[in-house]
Amino acid sequence: MSSYFTDLAQQYIDGEWRPGTGSWDIIDFNPYDDEKLASITIATVDEIDEAYRAAARAQKKWAGTNPYARRAVFEKALRLIEEREGDIAEAIVAELGGTRLKAGFELHLAKEFLREAVNLALRPEGRIIPSPADGKENRVYRVPVGVVGVISPFNFPFLLSIKSVAPALALGNAVVLKPHQNTPIVGGSLVAKIFEDAGLPAGLLNVVITDIAEIGDAFLEHPVPKVISFTGSDKVGRHVATVCARHFKRSVLELGGNSALVVLEDADIDYAVDAAVFSRYVHQGQVCMAANRVLVDRTVAEEFTEKFVAKVRTLKTGDPRDPETVIGPIINSSQAEAVAGAVEQAIADGATALIHGIRRDNLVEPSVLTDLPANSPLLKQEIFGPVALLVTFDGEEEAVRLVNDTPYGLSGAVHTANIERGVAFAKQIDTGMFHVNDGTVHDEPIVPFGGEKHSGIGRLNGDTMLDSFTTTKWISVQHGRSGFPF
């Protein structure tokens, strides 16, 4: 595993591993113990240009390659991940502080999405559409967009890079990937290495490790990419969308969330507690779908709260290498400080801490807050950390209002003994995804994934990848002669 952080601490452009030419280095730290993992000289605007130009050169031939031949690359990449799974898991634990449970979860999903990419290569289909003109044949072809720019986040970097990179490539595009600067290896160069070893032709996947302080908007504004796929915060997503619109590019935005898990009065309380604890605290709460808010009907609130608090107290915080650890470190000190600060501010504003977790460097213990004032900013925002907000409600109508009272609309869940009641509840929620009698954190390769409101634009997964990474082209054929008015 350690060789990843030495051998892959470079840029990958046009099939070559090479250092960046920037004047400073990104230092890759282990968020648990601050061990220096790698030092990577950043890419400049010139390298961004070289990466996009290489992608454009390679893409035309790749698009003309038999999709069955393209498919073989993804089959080989899947086998390589399976062979290297132990080393990749160790890298996930080291670079982003993921627990062993989280690393296994991320790798499982990454393999599932690669399996879908294998099938996606054969998915595009054309159509012949009738014409009102005699003798005219309307053909509609589905073609690659060309080059896709992918910007991936730090929380599930291996999965969320592959989730856009693999479908874009499978559909005949080339890709330039910019991983988050906190996870440059797992989210960037490791992905490139796997595809290189799987036989992907040079130039089709390029990885640039850099920082906005160096390149500004060059990654977004470059004339080559036709689509930018961004996963991250709504604040940055708004900027990405604005720049893309200004340059007539398509943006696919998978942004933050403020999901709620709702417990109705007829729910299985023990099961709802298990679902809520997982949905809030998986990967230290650094998940866009995480249940920031747990809404409980007042008639069962006392029982639920007692059991929820008891279960949260059993979650071990510490070294992510320890198989018993459930709560590992937050990705960096500024994020850890922000999470701890949000808890203190909520308490100062009148919230009650049923559990008040302390911060030790990047480790932030779980907190459970209740009695938040109705106007508390914390109820409206995304908390990317292990903090649960318990809110009571009186009846379904109030529950629906509370769930929707946020700028976000990504995921959510409701627990009830009556499945159809749960479905009816879900239909009233302004989210892209909602789950009945389950957790809020789900992602499946063939089910549309995405949010409403500030949680994003567009969808990923399954057939929606065709909408994201291909376009349609109308070619008409006139059999015989057409008539013209002059």
Torsion sign (Cα): 208, 209, 213, 217 = positive
Determine the Cα angle at 397 with ends 392 and 399, to 5°. 35
Which position among 106, 254, 365, 382 bears the catalytic label?
A: 254
Residues in contact with 249: Cβ distance below 8 Å, sequence separation at least 6, in sequence order: 220, 225, 226, 227, 228
Which strand (E) or helix (H) includes residue 289?
A: none
* Residue of 473, 479, 476 whose CA lies nearest to 63: 473
Query: Which is the catalytic residue, given 50, 116, 196, 288?
Result: 288
The two structure tokens encoding residue 222: 């470059």
Q: How many secondary structure helices (H) and strands (E) does the chain include? A: 16, 24
Q: Provide the residue type at 134 as one letter.
A: D
CA distance 297 to 304: 9
Annotated catalytic, 288? yes
Please check whether residue 230 is in contact with residue 252, taking contact to mean a CB–CB distance below 8 angstroms: yes
Tokens 């933050």 -> residue: 256
Contact 45, 215 (CB under 8 A): yes
**Token pair for 486:** 């002059």
244 catalytic, yes or no?
A: no
Q: Tell me which residues are annotated as active site.
A: 254, 288
